[in-house]
């Protein structure tokens, strides 16, 4: 791994920005797909296409099958199953892209619980800011988000954090291969939940009603998010320090909210911008403060 305090080379920085733009704008793409497909059916198709045909070209990482299975269930049925369900009618794409970033603090909390550590002062401040931002969203019921939608996205964030803990146990692996092969284990629970909660008639009707734009949105989940997103992000992490690459993920909710406003006309009320500022402030402190503090001490 290479990298220095000089930051990323311009081309690598552009690649990182492209990935965050893809991941952020994907919330709008998801909304397009949900116009015809039930949410769990969409999640099922997303992970089925992420596994096949990519598994034919991407080798399976050398990690235990149980690790791949745990990650697939947590990310597939947990994160995306819950997120898609919330986005069907209970939260806007822009707010969903913001609230799901609470996974950062769920991940920190899980790591501290397992390692018996205490929260640092800066982490407490970051958590309070983020909670204040989510609280602002919860207090506004103008159709941008319901309490059910907010709860589902927070559960999705917790599932994402659980997936983060599982992937850390896998060690240094090719993340693209890891995501592709773990997708195999997301399919059975999503199929079971879709059949149970949505029913085959609704699933079949949604697939039959899907137009070209819907299928492009579905395919984009595997091509854009998985192949390009995880492939390029893993490539960057293999060549640069994580501290140089990871903070750029803060731009995902920026692209998410901006794209939703531009494409879907999501209103940007004062309260929504305030919530955005609070959550982003908390995320920024949580991710960047250790590096800034070390530079100040130097």
The CB density around residue 202, as the number of other CB atoms within 10 Å, is 16
What confidence score (pLDDT) does residue 204 get? 96
Q: pTM of the entire structure?
A: 0.88
What confidence score (pLDDT) does residue 49 get? 93
What confidence score (pLDDT) does residue 1 get? 47
First to last CA, the chain: 23
In whole angstroms, give the CA distance from residue 28 to residue 255: 10
What confidence score (pLDDT) does residue 295 get? 64
Contact present, 137 and 275 (Cβ < 8 Å): yes
| Adjacent-strand bridge partners of 91 | 145
The CB density around residue 221, as the number of other CB atoms within 10 Å, is 21
What confidence score (pLDDT) does residue 39 get? 97
Place of tokens 């602002």: 136
What confidence score (pLDDT) does residue 4 get? 47
Place of tokens 């490539």: 235
Contact present, 161 and 107 (Cβ < 8 Å): yes
HEC assignment per residue over the chain:
CCCCCCCCCHHHHHHHHHHHHHHHHHHHHHHHHHCCCCHHHHHHHHHHHHHCCHHHCCCCCCCCHHHHHHHHHHHHHHHHHHHHHHHHHCECHHHHHHHHHHHHHHHHHHHHHHHCCCCCHHHHHHHHHHHHHHHHHHCCCCCCECHHHHHHHHHHHHHHHHHHHHHHHHCCCCHHHHHHHHHHHCHHHHHHHHHHHHCHHHHHHHHHHCCHHHHHHHHHHHHHHHHHHHHHHHHHHCCCCHHHHHHHHHHHHHHHHHHHHHHHCCCCCHHHHHHHHHHHHHHHHHHHHHHHHHHHHC
| Adjacent-strand bridge partners of 145 | 91
Joined together, the tokens standing for residue 19 give 């990935």
The residue length of the chain stands at 298
Q: Which segments of the chain have a pLDDT < 70? A: 1-7, 141, 243, 293-298
What confidence score (pLDDT) does residue 172 get? 80
């Amino acid at each position: 791994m290479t990298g220095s305090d000089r930051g990323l080379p311009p081309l690598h920085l552009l690649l990182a920005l492209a990935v965050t733009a893809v991941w952020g704008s994907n919330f709008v793409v998801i909304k397009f797909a949900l116009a015809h497909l039930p949410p769990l059916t969409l999640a099922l198709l997303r992970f089925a296409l992420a596994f096949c045909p990519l598994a034919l070209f991407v080798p399976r990482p050398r990690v235990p099958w149980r690790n791949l299975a745990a990650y697939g269930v947590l990310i597939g049925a947990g994160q995306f199953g819950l997120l898609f369900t919330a986005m069907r009618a209970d939260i806007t794409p822009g707010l969903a892209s913001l609230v799901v970033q609470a996974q950062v603090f769920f991940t920190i909390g899980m790591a501290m619980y397992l390692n018996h550590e205490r929260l640092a002062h800066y982490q407490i401040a970051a958590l309070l800011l983020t909670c204040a931002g989510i609280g602002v969203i919860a207090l506004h019921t103008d159709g941008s988000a319901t309490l059910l939608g907010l709860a589902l996205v927070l559960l999705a964030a917790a599932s994402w954090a659980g997936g983060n803990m599982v992937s850390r146990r896998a060690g240094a692996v090719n993340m693209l291969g890891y995501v592709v092969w773990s997708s195999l284990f997301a399919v059975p629970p999503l199929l079971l939940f879709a059949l149970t909660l949505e029913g085959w008639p609704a699933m079949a009707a949604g697939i039959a009603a899907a137009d070209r734009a819907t299928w492009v949105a579905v395919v984009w989940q595997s091509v854009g998010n998985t192949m390009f997103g995880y492939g390029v992000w893993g490539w960057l992490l293999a060549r640069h320090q994580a501290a140089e690459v990871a903070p750029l993920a803060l731009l995902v909710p920026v692209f998410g909210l901006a794209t939703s406003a531009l494409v879907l006309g999501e209103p940007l009320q004062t309260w929504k911008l305030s919530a955005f500022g609070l959550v982003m402030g908390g995320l920024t402190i949580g991710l960047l403060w250790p590096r800034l503090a070390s530079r100040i001490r130097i």
